[in-house]
Structure 1
Amino acid sequence: MEDIIIHSATIVNADRTSPNQFIWIRGGAIRRTGSMDLLKQNVPEEIRLRAVMVDGSRGFFIPGMIDMHIHGVQGADAMDGTAEALETMARVLPAEGTTAFLPTTITQKSENITRALEKMAEYRAAAPENGTAEIAGAHVEGPFFEPSKAGAQPAEFIVKASVDLFERWRQASGNAVRIVSLAPEHDPGFALTAHLQRIGVTASAAHSNASKALVDEAVKKGLSHVTHLYNGMSGLHHREPGIAAAALLNPALTVEIIADGVHSHPDMVQLAYQAAGANRLCVITDSLRAKNLPDGVYDLGGQQVTVAGDKPYLPDGTIAGSMLAMDKGFRNIQAFTGCSREEAVRMTSLNAAHEIGIAERKGSIEAGKDADIVWMDESEHVQKVWCRGRLAATAEQKGGVQP
């Protein structure tokens, strides 16, 4: 079993920055961390002599980022329903600092969603333990939406929320669904929302025209999350506070934000940070298969999406997903809000780990957790990434380290 010791490192977790540290990695997990003064005391000499030693004195180390809302990257999409697409996502994403993610479905025919979730279950069962980003479950975005707020969700496949339909998908996924995005006003009696809470799945408000009052009522039934704040929802209005206001004001809600400067003006990202705080915000990408590829025309759920620069859009001009990478989101959230580096770690890793139920093994660099570690230089660009203890990406290998 290979031992890796990163020494002389600065570790940035959500609660503190610790300089001059070591990180002892063994068997895909972090065995121990601590001050360099305690290295000899905490790591036996025979292990130090044979371990791979990594000089971490330049830059800093953060826990692997967790993207809880991503459709695709580099030509692959979760809705392709193939092992190849999922493997591409898992191999490529570490280059942007992502070590765990939720492949996200889109509003489509029920059988298409079923096939995509079945393939995720198969992939998770057969996937290698290390060396690629982990598929930590699935995010089902739709089809339980309000048609007038469909955005890039194909409106012809929208249906009312159904516990029975969701349960068929949950079974198809191998019980791996972690988030369901839905319009609260189309969940009769909040039946699905309450069901999701009972079984430990996050219910998230999305593509909805609900009032703040209705959202607050849904929170009492189990709603706990808001999908891509400001986008696809009733917005801020001084006489009719909608979902956006509920997201900012209700302390029971965690809130996704696409910090790309396209989906939301940087000032609106700052407003979210000042109102909700770093403890409730989760940076996500909502990225498409076109990410990492040249400008052009691509498919999203059977729709034509044109990508020009950082903006993907439908033929009618509707914005459709993003080109954002998580490492850029990490830099942007600091630039837009003035938050600390520690808070950026919280919003790109720890909050998501808690929200999708994996915080016992991800979201921070500490003993006993998965060795999901991102090494950044002082300009906050990714230098190396370890996924469960195995080198998965370097600055020179943007497509991911080949197994």
Structure 2
Amino acid sequence: MNKTKTPALFDRHIHGGYGVDFNNCSSDDVEKLCSILPKHGLGAICPTVMTDDKEQITNQIDIISKARKKLKKGDTQIFGIHLEGPFINPQKKGIHPEDKILKPTVKNFQKIVPPSLESEIKIVTLAPELDENLELTKYLKSKNITVSAGHTMSDGKELDQIKEVTHFFNAMPALHHRNLNITSKSLMDNNIFLEVIADNFHIASDMLKMILKLKSKEKIIFISDALSAAYSNQEKIIFAGEEIYIKENTARDKEGTIAGATKYLDEIIRLNTKTGLISFDEGIQFCSQNVYKSLGADMPETYIEWDKDCFVTSAHINSLNL
């Protein structure tokens, strides 16, 4: 492959990088990170704020909102915020602090996201089985906020209302040969988008092969789930109030629970094309076109250029028309 021009990448699930944590950062931190990310080919991101104190979540939404409005042409643009939690199932909390998890109700959502900031939220990950009568799900959809099932023990019956799954295979029930659940149902249902962390750590390569074989290519979304430690040379960070240890591009707490990732989408494309799991064109589809489709948004006129070794050489990014 010689120098190739493609749409810019869009990471809808990213917690930070270069030492910046979207759960605990300033507006200047966000702006600085967004000025760096174009070298990774990222045209847009959804900064992802995870389970935390209610006041801290509100504060970070406000900070990210202010930063979004100050971004310059050429910076990676903020499409909107991905709220991952606190409306999750404690049985599949992963690294999320259990004492800060809330029941998914409209009232609890409004305690965290005041009306003035509601338009900043574009995705909410929640456990649908805990959302009584899907009250919160229906409310969010009425506000044009995408609902994604994650950190869940759902049997999958809510998939007629929820059309997306957060970091597929992670923090959800295992596949079972007799008992169907959200994992098996969403894998086989080509109306459902799947977020996938294809870093060869969160999902074994043979399991990724299975996803690619069974799932429509139009419904696969690659995400980074990258932490502040990504590209920062840090060996230890504080995330979700816990010490997280970074070793050989993996991030775990002291008990060994996976805490997140350290690779951005350009590196994920490079990894999976070199191993032959995907074609380069599929990588772009999973990291760009499919992401915009999942959020019902038009592709912006942004593009990046790659060299023959699948490294980004330039980025041409315009402001998003939101």
TM-score range, shorter chain: over 0.9
CA contact (8 A) 1:193 1:218 kept: no
Which residue of 300, 312, 321 maps to 1:382?
Answer: 312
Residue 190 (structure 2) pairs with residue 247 (structure 1):
no
CA contact (8 A) 1:114 1:169 kept: yes
Question: What's the counterpart of residue 321 of structure 1?
Answer: 260
How many Å separate the matches in 2 of 1:193 and 1:250? 20
Change (3 A) 1:210 1:336: farther
SS in structure 2 opposite 1:160?
A: coil
How many Å separate the matches in 2 of 1:385 and 1:340? 21
How many Å separate the matches in 2 of 1:240 and 1:297? 39
How many Å separate the matches in 2 of 1:317 and 1:291? 18
Which residue of 168, 175, 189 maps to 1:229?
Answer: 168
How many Å separate the matches in 1 of 2:40 and 2:266? 5
Question: What's the counterpart of residue 25 of structure 1?
Answer: none
Q: TM-score, normalised by structure 1?
A: 0.75
SS in structure 1 opposite 2:119?
A: coil
**Structure 1: which amino acid aligns with 2:209?**
Q
CA contact (8 A) 1:170 1:177 kept: no
Which residue of 158, 183, 193 maps to 1:218?
Answer: 158
State how 1:112-191 maps to structure 2 within 5 Å: 112-128=56-72, 130-167=73-110, 168-169=112-113, 171-173=115-117, 175-191=119-135
**Structure 2: which amino acid aligns with 1:207?**
H
Change (3 A) 1:277 1:339: farther
How many Å separate the matches in 2 of 1:190 and 1:81? 32
227-236 or 335-344: bigger deviation: 335-344
Change (3 A) 1:295 1:225: same
283-292 or 81-90: bigger deviation: 81-90
Residues 19-64 of structure 1: CA distance to partner in whole angstroms, max 9, x if unpaired?
Answer: xxxxxxxxxxxxxxxxxxxxxxxxxxxxxxxxxxxxxxx4101100
CA contact (8 A) 2:159 2:186 kept: no
Which structure's CA Rg is the greater one? 1
Change (3 A) 1:269 1:170: farther
Residues 193-219 of structure 1: CA distance to partner in whole angstroms, max 9, x if unpaired?
Answer: 1222222211111111112xxx2x312
How many Å separate the matches in 2 of 1:62 and 1:331? 14
CA contact (8 A) 2:237 2:244 kept: yes
- 1:338, distance to aligned residue in structure 2 (A): 3.6
How many Å separate the matches in 1 of 2:216 and 2:193? 10
Change (3 A) 1:254 1:335: farther
CA contact (8 A) 2:52 2:100 kept: yes
- 1:252, distance to aligned residue in structure 2 (A): 1.9
Which residue of 294, 297, 300 maps to 2:236?
Answer: 297
How many Å separate the matches in 1 of 2:102 and 2:183? 23
**Structure 1: which amino acid aligns with 2:317?**
C
How many Å separate the matches in 2 of 1:338 and 1:311? 21
Question: What's the counterpart of residue 63 of structure 1?
Answer: 7
- 1:110, distance to aligned residue in structure 2 (A): 0.8
SS in structure 1 opposite 2:313?
A: strand
CA contact (8 A) 2:102 2:108 kept: no
Question: What's the counterpart of residue 41 of structure 1?
Answer: none
How many Å separate the matches in 1 of 2:275 and 2:116? 40
**Structure 1: which amino acid aligns with 2:262?**
M
**Structure 2: which amino acid aligns with 1:163?**
V
CA contact (8 A) 1:295 1:309 kept: no
Which residue of 234, 237, 258 maps to 2:197?
Answer: 258
Question: What's the counterpart of residue 251 of structure 2?
Answer: 312
How many Å separate the matches in 2 of 1:275 and 1:172? 42
**Structure 2: which amino acid aligns with 1:185?**
E
Change (3 A) 1:375 1:144: same
How many Å separate the matches in 1 of 2:158 and 2:245? 36
Residue 254 (structure 2) pairs with residue 345 (structure 1):
no
Q: TM-score, normalised by structure 2?
A: 0.94
- 1:235, distance to aligned residue in structure 2 (A): 1.5
CA contact (8 A) 2:94 2:257 kept: yes
Change (3 A) 1:174 1:198: closer
Question: What's the counterpart of residue 100 of structure 1?
Answer: 44
SS in structure 2 opposite 1:80?
A: coil
How many Å separate the matches in 2 of 1:266 and 1:336? 9
Change (3 A) 1:166 1:333: farther
Identity level (%): 27
SS in structure 2 opposite 1:178?
A: strand
How many Å separate the matches in 2 of 1:170 and 1:385? 35
CA contact (8 A) 1:73 1:288 kept: yes
Change (3 A) 1:81 1:296: closer
Question: What's the counterpart of residue 198 of structure 1?
Answer: 142
In structure 2, list runs of 5 or more residues that go unmatched: none
How many Å separate the matches in 1 of 2:314 and 2:41? 8
Residue 42 (structure 2) pairs with residue 76 (structure 1):
no
How many Å separate the matches in 1 of 2:232 and 2:282? 31
